[in-house]
Each structure stands twice: as structure tokens, then as C-alpha cells.
Amino acid sequence: MSTTTVTERVDRLDRMWTARPGLLGWLTTTDHKRIGLLYFWTTLVFFGAGGVEALTMRTQLIEPNSHLVGPELYNQLFTVHGMTMIFWFIIPMTTGAFGNYLVPLMVGARDLAFPRLNALSFWIFVASGIFLYIGLFSGFGPDAGWFDYVPLASKLYDPGRNIEFYTLAVIFNGMSSTLTAANLIVTILKLRAPGMSFNRMPLFCFAFLAASLGLLFALPSLTADTIFLYLDRNVGTHFFDPSHGGSTLLWQHLFWFFGHPEVYILIVPAFGIATEIIPAFTQRKMIAFPLVAIAELLVVFIGFGVWAHHMFATGIPTTTLIFFAGATAMVVIPSTIQVFAWSTSILVGRPQFKTPLLFIVGFIFMFVVGGLTGIMFLAIPFDQQTTDTYFVIAHFHYIIFGAAVFPIFGGMYYWFPKVTGKLYFELPGQISFWILMVGTNLLFFPMHIVGLLGMPRRVYTYPANMGWGSYNLAETIGGYITGIGILVLFANLVVSYFRGAPAGPDPWHGPTLEWSIPSPPPEYNFAVLPVVSSPYPNWDHDDRELDGRRLEAGEGLLDQGHQQRVSALIDGWRVGIADMPHSSPWPIVSAFVLTLMFTVLVVEKFVVAAFLAIVLLATFLGWHSKEPQEH
């Protein structure tokens, strides 16, 4: 077969998959890469907002008796900061941006399983974030902490609309996360390349499967909780009212049944990122691959059985405390397996300490420190002494910023050449890492000490004679250094985008399938759907040469439309072909109607909300009016 024929085949795929141009193209896109990029940019905006809130709080606490902001605004700042960083930055950045862009590429698919649902999920996410910030800017930002404990969040103690913005924004955002999780699960289970049985699936995909399953089964608990709170506040029910048979602890049980798995949902994708960067920059396969894969799933699974360790100071029975302390100790096992696997893989490989790997080394350090302080909380008396102090804040920021965000930064550098087709500048990248490493440790480590000295969390200021001033000063300096590090990081990426050298398809000799295609990837991802015989398919040169021969022979092209092969659940064999939808206006229209519905619920216009629910159903009829092609 001649080269011309190959070119013609690729051109045909190009024409078939080319997206609608311009703004309308982006608004109606269903392409996983475009939606991944939309997630990326939007979550960065929310990250910026959460960062400004954090720096405002740190500036307030730089000295005793400061009054930069008052207590009411401070309450809203720490609440919205926590909500933003968890629900509008880390989850959407990992599952939404990284998951969307990379999972189909790694499993050898052309899109996610439900492309229009993916678009709906993105637009709901955007709308829910705008919804939350409308609350903040109108003076009704949520103000009872990100865990929103009752009775503080009840109508009696918080009579404004602040908590309505919390409950509805969380439910709204939860819909988006659930849809994304569903899409990733079905994609990983059913759209894998030929030969990609579970034992040949990249560890990145195991991590995203674990996080998605976690989201799927954890979020309903939060949804039920927030529905109950909304009903208590707006309909007059008594779920959390002990004087009428309700229970305030019910809120905490339901919240933490979601909240603790949530921690693993945040960090497991980061584990997945680490397990891609380490092989690429050590040029060796991950040590203990099956154990790491199982550990990624197990850490989320065990996470569902430990929720009450957040409630050691609530007066629940001692037997319960001991059970949950023991269950929490079990989390150490899969976590430690992974730490040893990452560390050993680096030690026995040929590590090149470029920026992505530096961030992973930083991540391992921060995760170990945060993990060790986490183990300290197993000692029930210690937990009861330090609960609600800055020690807790130090612990979870080492985990959430150090263990979740550091790999995200590393991942940004690692996949930057794939997404943009350009190489980033190495020296500024390494500088940004070291600034961030110094900044975050200066920011969060003194919080351990000031917490042990008794400084409670969520206080907007403190008296001068407590001995907390110098630690808070150091933390605030650390906060600004961290901010500078983040600015250097993004400035480097922006400059690299415009001036970076061409990257080529595979600048790192990466192990997974995304490195086998051009950078940036074409809209159809793979001209020939690849064949896989190991978890490191890009290192299987014979298989990749086979792809080339099949392209020449016209095998495995699927060029009769927006086609995607469907695979068997366990072994990845082909069982059919699905027709993937093109761009569609219905996701953004449905998200718009849903936004209106949630907005009127804030002001208790239930009849209007019911009418909008009917309009929403009508949009779904429009959504399904056009059926896919038959093959």
C-alpha cells in the first residue's frame, strides 16, 4: 500500500473528526480533549480565587489583633476557600482536566464513553462555581466551615441565605462530579484497546478508576445530608433538631462518610500521576505493579470504613472510637506499599531529576510527613487534644497541598509537551519547584507547633500574649512565597507555550499510549486503534510498528463515522463498535436550565423550580431526538 493512501486515510479521519470552529465550537464541543482543556482553565480560575482567599486570611493572621477583615467575612473566606479548593479545584482538575484529557488516550480510545454527558458535566461544574461565588460576592457566602456542622448551620444560628448557597452549590457540583466519575468508569471498563486486560492497564487508569468509584459511592451521602439540611432550613423538617427527635451527629456521620473517602478521592489521582512520571524519568517499570494497582483501589475502599475518626471529640462510645482508630490504621498498609514502590522505583532506576520528577519527590516527602501526623491522630487522647487546632490544618494541608497538588503541578509539566506540542523551559521549572517546596513547608510546618500551642482553627484574629505571633508571621511569609512559586510555574508554562521548542510526539520516551501519537493529539486520537500487550505499551516497539503496518493495510481504522470500538470488560477484546456523537448544543442548554432551577431554590420558589424541572426534561427530549448512525 502506498504512502499516499496512508495520507488519504488520515486526511479522511481529519475531515470526519474536525470540530466546529470558533466560540460556538467550544460551547458545543463533546471532544474529551477540548473539555479537558476547558476544565483545566476553569479550575485554574477557581484555584486563583481560592488562593486569594487563602492569602487574605494569612494576611489577616500575620499579626495579633489584626482587623483587615471582620469575623463575618473571615468565616465566609475560610469556608469558601475550603469548598473551592476541594470541589472546584482538585476534584475537577484531576478527574475533569487530567482524567478527561488523558484517560481516553491511555486506554487507546477516541473519546469518553458518553461525550455529551461529559459536556453537560463541565457546564454544570462551571455554573455551580459561579453560583457559589454569586453567594460570596452578594454577602451570602457559606460561612459555617467546609463541613458545615449543624447546629451552627441551622436556621437558628445562621438565618441568612449563606447556607442555602452551600447546600445547593454542593448538590449542584456533586451532579457534575458524579457524571464525570460515571464517564471515566465506563470508559475504563469498556473502551480499552485490544489486549489491554486489567493487568495491562496503566496504573494511572487504576488510580482514576479508584477515585471515580470513590466519588460514585461517597457523593450520595453528602447529597442526602445537604438535602436534609436544605429541608430543615426551608421546609421545617427536623432531621438535625434533637428537640424533635433529630440528631446533630447525624450530619457528621453522613458528612464524614463522604468526607473521608473524599481525601483519598483527592490524592489517589495524584498517585496515578506519580506512577506515570516515575517510569518516564527513571526509564524503568514501576516496582510491584500489581501491589500498587491493588493499593490504589484498596486505599479508597478502606477509606469508606474510617469516617468516625473525624468525630473522636463528639462523645461517641469508646468502643466505636477504638474500632475506627483500628480501621484507620489499616489505611497505612496500602499507603506504605505505594510509598515504598515509588521510592524504590526511583532508587533502582536511572532517575533524571527534571521538574516533573522533582515535584514527585516533593510529593513523596510531603505525603510521608502528612501521613505521619495522620497516624498521630489514631491516638484517641491526642486527637481529642488537637482537634479543631492548627495542628489539624497542618496535617491536612501537607496531604492536600503536598500530596495532591504537587503531583498536579508535576503532571502539568509532564504532559505540557503532549498538550501543546512545545517543550517547557527546564530551569524556571526547577526554580518554581524549589520556591514551592520552601514556601509550602514554611507555610504549613509552623502550623503544627502553633496548633500544639493551642491555637484554634477558624479564628479571625488572636490576642498578642498567646505566643503565636512569630509562627503566624512565618506562615504568612510562607504563603506569599508559595504564591510566588505558583506564579513562576504558570509564567513558565505560558512563556513556553509561545516560545518553547517543538516537543515532537515523545520527548520523555514515555511509557503509555499518549506518547505514541503526535503532540498535540489529533481530534480522533489514534488513526489505527492500537494493540496492547503490556502496561507500558509505548515501550513495546513491535506493537507500535504493527500499528504502522495496520494503518498501511487499512486495518483497525474505523473511519465510517465517529466510531469507537467497544471492548469486553475483563480482557479488552473487541465486542462492537459505537458511534460517538458530534458536537451538541443540548448539554449547555440543559446546564443553563438546571442553573436557573437551583437559583430559584435559593429563594424558595418551589413552583417555579418545578416548572424549570419540566423544561429540563424537555431539553433531554431534544438531546435524544437525534439517534446515532447504525453500523
Partner 1 sequence: MTEITAETLDPRARERFPIGWWGMAIVVASEGTLFAMMVGTYFYLRFRTPVWPPAGVPKPHVLVPAVVLGCLVLTAIPMRLASVAGQAGRLRATRWLLVLATLVQAGYFWVEVWSYLEDLEKSTPQRDAYDSIYYTLLGADHAHIAIGVLLNLWLLWKLRYGFTQYRTTALRAISFFWLAVIVMTVVVILTTLSPSFT
Q: Is 594 in the site for partner 1 (CB under 8 A)?
A: no
Which residue in the set 575, 603, 610, 618 belongs to the binding site for partner 1 (CB under 8 A)? 575
The sign one gets for the Cα dihedral 311, 315, 319, 325 is: positive
Cβ nearer to partner 1, comparing 195 with 483: 195
Q: What minimum distance in Å lies between the beta carbon of 513 and partner 1?
A: 13
Q: What minimum distance in Å lies between the beta carbon of 610 and partner 1?
A: 11
Q: Is 422 in the site for partner 1 (CB under 8 A)?
A: no
Q: What minimum distance in Å lies between the beta carbon of 29 and partner 1?
A: 20
Cβ nearer to partner 1, comparing 283 with 534: 534
Q: What minimum distance in Å lies between the beta carbon of 321 and partner 1?
A: 18
Cβ nearer to partner 1, comparing 20 with 244: 244
Helices 248-282 + 289-303 axis angle, to 10? 170
Cell of 472: 503566624
Q: What minimum distance in Å lies between the beta carbon of 484 and partner 1?
A: 42
Q: Is 615 in the site for partner 1 (CB under 8 A)?
A: no
User: Which residues in the 95-114 window bind partner 1 by CB under 8 A?
Assistant: 113-114
Strands 574-579 and 563-567: antiparallel
Query: CA-to-CA distance for 604 and 235, rounded, in angstroms?
Result: 9
Query: CA-to-CA distance for 42 and 129, rounded, in angstroms?
Result: 9
Q: Is 624 in the site for partner 1 (CB under 8 A)?
A: yes
3-state secondary structure of 389: strand
Q: What minimum distance in Å lies between the beta carbon of 609 and partner 1?
A: 13
Q: Is 236 in the site for partner 1 (CB under 8 A)?
A: yes
Cβ nearer to partner 1, comparing 92 with 214: 214
Q: Is 231 in the site for partner 1 (CB under 8 A)?
A: yes
Cβ nearer to partner 1, comparing 344 with 534: 534
Please identify, among the stretches 274-282, 338-346, 454-462, 567-575, the one whose residues bind partner 1 according to the rule CB under 8 A: 567-575
Query: CA-to-CA distance for 425 and 364, rounded, in angstroms?
Result: 24
Q: Position 432: which residue type?
A: S
- 111, 104 Cβ separation under 8 angstroms: yes
- 562, 580 Cβ separation under 8 angstroms: yes
With CA atoms as reference, report the closest residue to 359 among 308, 307, 409, 400.
409
Binding mask 241-280 for partner 1 (x = CB under 8 A): x--xxxx--x--xx--x-----------------------
Q: Is 521 in the site for partner 1 (CB under 8 A)?
A: no
Cα separations (Å) of 624 from 118, 150, 616?
A: 15, 42, 13
Which residue in the set 39, 228, 281, 307 belongs to the binding site for partner 1 (CB under 8 A)? 228
Cβ nearer to partner 1, comparing 489 with 532: 532
Burial environment of residue 111 by CB neighbours within 10 A (0 to 12, 13 to 18, 19 or more)? buried
3-class SS string, 305-319: CCHHHHHCCCCCCHH
User: Which residues in the 177-216 window bind partner 1 by CB under 8 A?
Assistant: 178, 181-182, 185-186, 189-190, 193-195, 216
Report the run of H or E that residue 554 belongs to, with start and end.
none
Cell of 294: 491493588
Which residue in the set 425, 473, 533, 596 belongs to the binding site for partner 1 (CB under 8 A)? 533
Which residue in the set 291, 566, 609, 616 belongs to the binding site for partner 1 (CB under 8 A)? 566
The site for partner 1, by CB under 8 A, has a size of 68
Cβ nearer to partner 1, comparing 185 with 366: 185
Q: Is 224 in the site for partner 1 (CB under 8 A)?
A: yes
Q: What minimum distance in Å lies between the beta carbon of 542 and partner 1?
A: 3
For the chain, report the end-to-end CA distance as a whole number of angstroms.
26
Neighbours of 305 (CB within 10 A): 17
Cell of 581: 456523537
**Bridge partner residues of 563 (DSSP):** 579
Cβ nearer to partner 1, comparing 499 with 541: 541
- 165, 130 Cβ separation under 8 angstroms: no
Query: CA-to-CA distance for 67 and 85, rounded, in angstroms?
Result: 25
Q: What minimum distance in Å lies between the beta carbon of 159 and partner 1?
A: 18
Query: CA-to-CA distance for 251 and 240, rounded, in angstroms?
Result: 7
Rule CB under 8 A: which residues touch partner 1?
113-114, 117, 178, 181-182, 185-186, 189-190, 193-195, 216-217, 219-221, 223-225, 227-228, 231-232, 235-239, 241, 244-247, 250, 253-254, 257, 528-533, 540, 542-543, 546, 550, 555-556, 565-568, 571, 573-576, 578, 617, 621, 624, 627-628, 630
